[in-house]
Structure 1
Amino acid sequence: MKGLELTKRQAVLVLVGLLFAFAIPDLALMTPSLQLTVVHQGLLFGLAAVGLNLLLRHTRLVSFGHAAFFGTGAYTTAVLAAKYDVSSFTVLLVAAVVVATLVAGIIGYLSLRHTGLYFSLLTLAFGQLLYALVQGQSFFGSSDGLPVRPGEARQPLVFGLALDPEAYAVVLYYLTIVILVVSLLVMWRLVKSPFGNALDAIGQDRTRAQFIGIPVRRYVWTAFVISGIYGGVAGALYAMVQQHVRPGPVLYFLRSGDILFMAILGGFQTLLGPLVGGVILVFLQDVGRDVTAYFDALTGFALLVIVFGLPRGLVGSLRSGGLLSGAGRDFREDPTVITVWVSNGLASLIRSVREWISDVRSALGVR
């Protein structure tokens, strides 16, 4: 824990966050609008986004194929449970981590020969290759997927215990929280280490980093594998929570887009941002399905708001010096400042529309 000191404010926020996270199952019983499964899924996809963020934040590499590792973890769990009747929670989780590590190592070795757009396209291609492989093989259940209901209990055994469905969901949620805390501590220690500093140097200027003696390809490959491990852990837990795995929700390229969006939504320059973004995005999608058939428009609108209004993301804007933090301070000092915000927002919107119209006229050759 050396080097992981917290200020009093940060310690209080962490404590409140942990207490709230552990209270979610009880709050879900009292509030019908808050569903444990939705929060649980959001945390798991957020964990995968935390792994992706290691690449995005420190090496400036954008991966469009991180669903491959999430899906690898999920399908490793499903195959062992459905085909070989493995019921141990620990064995399923460890096996998923091992396979996800191997897959991330191979994909990283082949993709990291390139950077920028070509790297992004290669990760997308490998992700779609895995999706097509699983979708077309009856061994993986094709498009119907595989159940995760091994043994007589018809569900994984948590440390050898067969739990009833309600207790199983709650215990698995608490285990997820513990794994999340450990994963965040590991990531925090990693980015504060000399290895994390080397990744920052690589992200700023690869050529300069190479000239000062940093083995660039080896370091970036290691970061890529670590990010894949986070995705594999999240996918394995997702499979055990859902107890059924299909290729669409875990391997399709749009899922990779969701994981990337989660990192941006919460704030990819922060540690907790991707996790918060995961919960918010899954919640938006769940609520959107109940409200409108065009629920994807909600996520699109949220992305527009983040890009134009909160470029640091939600968590990044709440930090000291962030947009939301400064706005809250100004509002407390003078509540009438909201009129200035509205007028500035309308002026910015009108200016953007005019620029867009001008660009369209220029593209069409209209004067």
Structure 2
Amino acid sequence: MNPLYDRLSPVVKSIPPSGIRRFFDLANQMEDVISLGVGEPDFVTPWHVREACFYSLERGFTTYTSNKGLPELRSAIADYLHGFNLNYHPEEVVVTVGGSEAIDIALRTLLVPGDEVLIPEPAYVSYNPCTILAGGTPVGVPTYAEDEFRLTADSLRAKITPRSKVLILCYPSNPTGAIMSETDLKAIAEVVIEHDLFVLSDEIYAELTYEGTHCSIASLPGMKERTVLISGMSKAFAMTGWRIGYAVAPQEILNVMLKIHQYTILCAPIMGQMAALEALRNGRAEKEKMVERYNQRRRLIVKGFREMGLACHEPKGAFYAFPDIRSTGLTSEEFAEGLLNHSRVAVVPGNVFGDGGEGFVRCSYATSVEQIQKALERIDDFLQTLR
């Protein structure tokens, strides 16, 4: 190896590659694979949204926008959030390149080296590495299937130290599909205020809530001033490839986030912003249809797992099931690899989402009913070989 490479960042080199991508790469080398691994809607972005992009190009919208994003889009985002009992001004909104950028710049704004970030696990795979890249120390907070993977105040308190600074919440949850009720969040908010923490609330799946309505912790008393709320267009509006996300926060926090955004990104692409504006203004009917179809698939996949003897808590949000495979005697990695090689079904081993995910696998039901039914048959066939 060239000795020059020894001088690359040791911090970055120490971060492992995504465990999710490893299984995608394996599956892509095989034929006749049914993938339950991709965290992406199988729906195409609605036509009127795509048309808005085409029309914007015809009219010559090919320039930079304000660093914060188009004023009319930021106003539409603020109006949209009113539906979740959130009162934000357009000046408290920044449009980002996906929710991923928003998470990155929020953590870089909130952290100084040595700060600890409390991350309920199982957790989305980006939170730990983004924390490390921002100079922080990730601290896993366990959640359990018996609690439907909800974060409890007692579990949170047990992990708080004098260095604790930020709590990351992702509800509805990737990977478990768990949600937090207003009552649940009030208990967490009390701990947050007591210990003077910031909250990064990743609410990208907020619209995909199947029981009750989504509650944001930022809507609770005393929480807006200490919360950075992250969301975007990817999941609810089937716009993953457009890479339009947003962050909302108090002006003092957002102004610091904006500096990083200015120097690293400048602005999100104008064509995507125009499409997002159309989706927020006129895309709610299609969104509701997609949510109903996800709900149908959710019921199908959970019923299938339980009928074949795999315990599976009911996911009440997002589009993931998180069945318990401990009864097979296999680790998450062994189960996922065996299932892929034997039955050509790709799932994600739960351990890639943290230690608390061991013994589970993540299965996305963002695919057709027909594909889910075939996948369930193949999984059942694989289970028969283990008995």
Q: Could you state the TM-score of these two structures normalised by the residue count of structure 2?
A: 0.30
* TM-score (ref. length: structure 1): 0.32
Query: Whose relative contact order is higher, 1 or 2, with alpha carbons under 8 Å and at least 6 apart?
Result: 1
Greater Rg over alpha carbons, structure: 1
More strand by share: 2
Q: Greater helix share, 1 or 2? A: 1
